[in-house]
Structure 1
């Protein structure tokens, strides 16, 4: 990770670390708005009688809302992945998207509406896993800390719960994250089974946790 960091700074400057920022913000405005909003609304309705939600219920609600979020944010996610990887491509293959919206609409013109849904199944699966492992584990860790430690409902409890939830979510989602990024970065259709066999042949089982450290450094905070 540190080698990649320094390579980007040397070749593109500090601003190179922010490639795809507009697409990333656009993704959060679609993906995170839906996954958080739907989850909290469903949880509110499920506990309207004052009951405490069980862990299976939280996992079910967060999985469903995450899946919806993955679908809604897919087009921006494809654009984000492509903008971040553009500088690594040979000049003739670079897309040079100006910003997130430019990338989305160029994809629509040049590749058709199906390009907006490239990798939608691994992305939605990843979003469902992310939501379930992040939101459900956050609520669970927070309840445990409030019950079994003297911390109470404090800022420290919220930060600790968030960090632990980020660790769980990063670990569970890592394999799907790798698949999602590689499917989205291409301009042609490629079967997931073929992609998996190709990755495994070249990289072995370690492919599942490639990029875990930067993923956690992004998600944990």
Structure 2
């Protein structure tokens, strides 16, 4: 195919910056979701859980673990967006859009890598968020993400950083497919209708679709990941043991915290892509020739 001119490609770090910016706004919702997922019995709803956290430790407790949440995005989202954009550039011919099945494939690769590199910060994030709901004398009290990583390495060994990595990577694959590939495809389809142009309204609509799909397909693995990361030593013998333990409370246990997960993930997805599109424009593009 003849050269069709330069194509715009996002800078490798744009996705990480966008995800970190979104996390600053949605972190309290993520904290409530973690608390709901670590309940074996559904004793509290999202609103009551949030009120309980504020009553017990104050309004700032809703931002417990923010440093870990930001670091997670700077590792996890940087990797998955960078790999997706790079592979999309490699497989795309001219300005012709990739088939959706190829987008799914490259999103899966990006998600797997992102899930692995983001796991250490993710584990510290879960622990820091869950700290506020346990008795003060039993709290880990990590001061920030780097303190958490250091203490985990010193007290439990570096391999502990990758606790739950199988679930994290599995969830990240599904999340990247549902967020990045679905967003890309939804945006493409909206633009072809003739009723949309490449502006924030289109970005908002496409990211809302992506956020809803992402919440639905990732919730079971998200629940498992959260429980494995927050588990005490020896609490679960394996992933299968954790699955069986959760299943004792019924199939809906795998969707614990779905509403707050959607309330958190949909805005996070929307904000991530709104920031992402704007950061690309502000930060400039890398131009490549085919």
TM-score, structure 2 as length reference? 0.73
In the TM superposition, residue 194 of structure 1 has moved relative to its aligned partner by 0.9
Residue of structure 2 in register with 1:197 after alignment: 244
CA distance in 1, matches of 2:217, 2:192: 26
1:217 to 251, 259, 263: 263
Residue of structure 2 in register with 1:165 after alignment: 210
Residue of structure 2 in register with 1:186 after alignment: 231
2:252 to 203, 206, 212: 206
In terms of mean alpha carbon deviation, does 83-92 or 31-40 score higher?
Answer: 83-92
Q: What CA deviation, in whole Å up to 9, does each residue of 1:139-166 have, x standing for no partner?
A: 1111221223512323211100001100
Runs of 4+ in 1 over 3 A off after TM superposition: none
SS class of match (2:209): helix
In terms of mean alpha carbon deviation, does 206-215 or 121-130 score higher?
Answer: 206-215
In the TM superposition, residue 18 of structure 1 has moved relative to its aligned partner by 0.3
Structure 1 residues not aligned, in runs of 5+: none
Give yes or no for the alignment of 1:70 onto 2:92.
no
Cα-Cα RMSD: 1.2
1:32 to 59, 77, 83: 77
Residue of structure 1 in register with 2:34 after alignment: none
Provide the aligned length of Structure 1 versus Structure 2: 220
Give yes or no for the alignment of 1:99 onto 2:99.
no
Q: Is the contact made by 2:247 and 2:254 (CA closer than 8 Å) also made in structure 1? A: no
SS class of match (2:250): helix
Q: What CA deviation, in whole Å up to 9, does each residue of 1:31-72 have, x standing for no partner?
A: 111111111111111115333200110000001101100000
Structure with more contact order per residue of length (Cα contacts < 8 Å, sep ≥ 6) = 2
In the TM superposition, residue 218 of structure 1 has moved relative to its aligned partner by 1.9
Structure 2 residues not aligned, in runs of 5+: 1-45, 268-290
TM-score, structure 1 as length reference? 0.95
In the TM superposition, residue 186 of structure 1 has moved relative to its aligned partner by 1.7
